[in-house]
Amino acid sequence: MFKAIAIVIAVVAIVSIAVIYVNSTKIINQEAPKETTGNVISPASTDQAPPAPAETIKTFTVTGQNFSFSPASLTVNQGDTVRIIFKSASGFHDFGIDEFKVATKQIQGGQEETVEFIADKTGVFEYYCSVGNHRAMGMKGALTVQ
Ligand SMILES: [Cu+2]
């Protein structure tokens, strides 16, 4: 009788150990796929990176004078990286587009400043000179992102 009880206890103990062992193995196995999933995600995100070098950089030279820009209109495609080389032909001016949060420093005639941004939304956006009342006097232009 004692032998029978001892055997039952032994079996229960072995089964318990076996269950604990299997569960811990399962946990290890569950953690492993998570790491694999993480690895799957990172190649996917690097897969999204290659289009970046494929992006077109469009460079424009925009000249500012009292009180206009030339050219007064620019057109780019959505997703383009736009580089504006702003030159002041004469007078104290800058070049900015609020919607893309870009603005050059205010520069004197003969100086130049470059700004770069990604045209990530479509529409027609005004670029303008923020010096004094230059904008009101016509120192503005239209950037079309199509
Ligand atoms: Cu100006």
DSSP, collapsed to helix, strand or coil, labels residue 109 as coil
Q: How many residues does the chain have?
A: 146
**DSSP states along 13-64:** HHHHHHHHHHHHHHHHHHHHHHHHHHHHHHHHHHHHSTHHHHSPEEEEEEEE
Decide: residue 115, CB within 10 A, 0-12 exposed, 13-18 middle, 19+ buried.
buried
Break the chain into its structural domains and give their ranges: 2-51, 55-145
Give the whole-angstrom CA distance, residue 134 versus residue 140.
8
Dist. CA 107 → ligand 1 center (Å): 9
Instruction: Tell me how far the alpha carbon of residue 113 lies from the centroid of ligand 1, in angstroms.
Output: 14
Task: Provide the CA 62 distance to its chain's centre, in angstroms.
Answer: 26
CATH number (3.40.50.880, 1.10.645.10, 3.40.50.300, 2.60.40.420) of 55-145 reads: 2.60.40.420
pTM above threshold 0.95: no
Distance 92 CA to ligand 1 centre (A): 6
pLDDT (tens digit per residue) in 6-37: 544 455 555 554 554 555 545 444 444 444 44
pLDDT of 117 higher than 80: yes
- The per-residue pLDDT for 21 is 54
Ligand 1: centre distance to CA 67 (Å): 6
